[in-house]
Amino acid sequence: MRGIEYQIRGVLHYHAILGLMGRLDPFEVMRAWEQCGSLIYIDGNLQPRTGFARVYEYDPSLGGERYVSKYAVKGGIIEIGC
């Protein structure tokens, strides 16, 4: 499940819930995402072209729908699939 929206500066912004098998180190996933693209200057700072990733363990008490639905209300898109 992922929520997609445009930020004020006009770039896409994603939030996603992924079902992963096994144990993953969240920091390893964040580093891998940030290394996917080359570095560019954004707002005067050198940053990964892919932006930043933050990985948290899913909390079933909060629900995935609640997490991504707020982006649809802002005019974003919700995609559900496998």
Q: Which residue has the higher pLDDT, 37 or 26?
A: 26
CA angle 48, 45, 67 (to 5 degrees): 55
Rounded to an integer, the average pLDDT of 39-46 is 82
| Residue among 18, 11, 16, 6 nearest 76 (CA) | 6
Rounded CA-CA distance 6/40 in Å is 19
Give the model's pLDDT for residue 75. 65
pLDDT, mean over the chain: 75
At residue 60, the pLDDT reads: 81
Q: What is the mean pLDDT of residues 69-77?
A: 65
At residue 55, the pLDDT reads 81
Percent of the chain with pLDDT over 70: 73
